[in-house]
Structure 1
C-alpha cells in the first residue's frame, strides 16, 4: 500500500465527515491531478470506494435512526439503476470498437463537479423554495413527486456512472427540493441508501472494463475510515457557513479545469 494514497484517503475522509459532501467530488480530482491516474481509473476505483464506505453509513441511519425512506429509494433506483447499466453498456461498446472514452468521462466529471458546487451554494435556497411552494399550495405537486424522483434517479445514474460524482450533494439537494417536509436526517439517510446500489453497479461495471486499481482502493479505505470518524467529530466545531462556500469554490475551479 502507498502511504500517499492512505494519507489522501484520510484527508478526503475527514473532509467528508466535516462537510457531508460525497468523497467522489473530492477524491476523483485528487487522483487525477495529484497522482496522475487516468480519469477512467479514478472514476472506477472511486465508485467501489464509495459503495464500501457508504454501506456503514446506511447501517447507522437505518438501524439506529430509522431514517431511510425506502419508497423514495425505490423510486430513485427505478431511474438510476437502469441508467447506470445502459451507460456501462455504452462505455463497453466504445471500448470494444477501440474508441477512447477518457475525453467524455473527463468532460462529464467537470460538469458534475460544477453542478455539485452549485448545489452546495444554493442548497439552502432550494430547500426554502420547496418549503415555500408546499406551504402556499399544499399538495399541488404531490402527483409529480414520483415521476420527478424517477427522473432525478435517471440523471444521477448517468452522471454518477460516468464521473463517480453527484450521488451525495446533488441527490441530497434534489430530495430537499422534492420532499420539503422530509426531515434533513431522513433526506441524508435516504440519499445514502440509494447511493450504495448505484455506486456498486457502477463500480462493478468499471471493474469489468478494467478501470479499477485494487491496490489504490485498499490504501484509500485504510486512510478514509479513521478520517471520516475524526471529521464527523470535528464537524460541530467548524462553521458550515464558512466551510461550504470555500469547498464549493474549489470544486467549481476544478470542474472548469476538467471542462476547458
Structure 2
C-alpha cells in the first residue's frame, strides 16, 4: 500500500503542477474513494500535507519574488484562524461522538469541490482582468474602500470553516476571492499572498485534526515522497498541454466527484 500511496502522490503532484489546483481537491477524494479512508482521516492527513508542501512555494514567493502582501495575509488570518479553531473545538467536543459529523464533512467536501470547479473555470478570466487593469502595480487596488478589511476578514472566516471541514478551498477558492477583492493586485502577488495565508490555516487545522487522531503518518510520508517530484514534473509539462483543454476536463472531474459526495 505504501507504493500505491507514493504513486498517488506522484499523480496528484503532476496534476497540481499542470493546473495549479491545490492538492486537497484532488488528494482527499482519492483517499476516500480509492483507498477507503474515512473522510476525517483523509481531511486531517491532507491538511498537514498541504501545510508542508505550500511552505516551499511561499518561501520562493517571499524570498525571490517579494510577492506576499502580508497586510492582506493578516486580515485573512484574522478571520480564518479563529474560525478554524472554533470548528476544531466543536468537532472535538460537541460533535465528537455524533455519527452525523461524517455526513457533514462529506457534504462540505462535495460543496467545496463544486465551488473549486467553478473557481477553476473562471480564475484565468479574473487573472487576465487583474493583469490588464493593474499593469502589475504594487498596490492593493481595494474594491470596497473602508469596508475592505472587514470584508477580507469575513472571507477568511468562510475559508477557515471550509478548509477545516474539507481540506479544500485554500488554493483555488482563496485565489479567486483575492482576485475579486483586489482587482489591481498583480497575479504573482495574488498567488504569493494566497500561499502565505494557506500555511497557517492548513497547519492549525491539520494540527487540530492530529490532536483528534485524524492523521495517518505512514500515508503522509508516502504522499510527500511522491508528490514533490510529481509537482516538479507537472510544472515542466504544463507548457506542452493546452490549458484551455486541461482546465475544463479537470473541472468536469471535480464536478462529478463533488456531486458523488453531496448525493452520497
Q: Do both proteins adopt the same fold according to a TM-score greater than 0.5, normalized to the shorter chain?
A: yes
Query: What CA distance in whole angstroms lies between the structure 1 residues aligned with 2:234 and 2:60?
Result: 16
Aligned residues: 256
TM norm structure 1: 0.94
Q: 1:177 to 1:131 in 2, by over 3 A?
A: farther
State the match for 1:211 in structure 2.
214
Query: What CA distance in whole angstroms lies between the structure 2 residues aligned with 1:43 and 1:257?
Result: 17
**Does the CA-based 8 Å contact 1:118-1:248 persist in structure 2?**
yes
Query: What CA distance in whole angstroms lies between the structure 1 residues aligned with 2:186 and 2:143?
Result: 20
State the match for 1:91 in structure 2.
91
State the match for 1:187 in structure 2.
190
Query: What CA distance in whole angstroms lies between the structure 2 residues aligned with 1:193 and 1:129?
Result: 23
**Cα deviation per residue 1:130-180 (whole Å; 9 max; x = unaligned)?**
78999xxx8772222211111111000000000000000000001011111
State the match for 2:15 in structure 1.
15
**Does the CA-based 8 Å contact 2:142-2:148 persist in structure 1?**
no
Q: CA RMSD in A?
A: 1.9
- Aligned with 1:167: secondary structure? coil
The answer on 1:161 being equivalent to 2:164 is yes
Matches within 5 A, 1:18-57: 18-57=18-57
State the match for 2:68 in structure 1.
68
- Aligned with 1:37: secondary structure? coil
Mind listing any 5+ residue stretches in structure 2 that lack a counterpart? 135-140
Query: What CA distance in whole angstroms lies between the structure 1 residues aligned with 2:127 and 2:18?
Result: 21
Return the offset for 1:235. Answer: 1.3
Query: What CA distance in whole angstroms lies between the structure 2 residues aligned with 1:197 and 1:66?
Result: 19
**Does the CA-based 8 Å contact 2:130-2:185 persist in structure 1?**
no
**Does the CA-based 8 Å contact 2:45-2:215 persist in structure 1?**
yes
Mind listing any 5+ residue stretches in structure 1 that lack a counterpart? none
Return the offset for 1:102. Answer: 1.0
The answer on 1:227 being equivalent to 2:226 is no
- Aligned with 1:94: secondary structure? coil
TM norm structure 2: 0.92
Query: What CA distance in whole angstroms lies between the structure 1 residues aligned with 2:56 and 2:142?
Result: 35
The answer on 1:201 being equivalent to 2:220 is no
**Does the CA-based 8 Å contact 1:129-1:177 persist in structure 2?**
no
- Aligned with 2:46: secondary structure? helix
Return the offset for 1:233. Answer: 1.1
**Cα deviation per residue 1:54-79 (whole Å; 9 max; x = unaligned)?**
00111111011111110010010000
The answer on 1:172 being equivalent to 2:175 is yes
Q: 1:27 to 1:73 in 2, by over 3 A?
A: same
- Aligned with 1:119: secondary structure? helix
**Cα deviation per residue 1:14-54 (whole Å; 9 max; x = unaligned)?**
11111110000000000001111000000000000000000
- Aligned with 1:59: secondary structure? helix
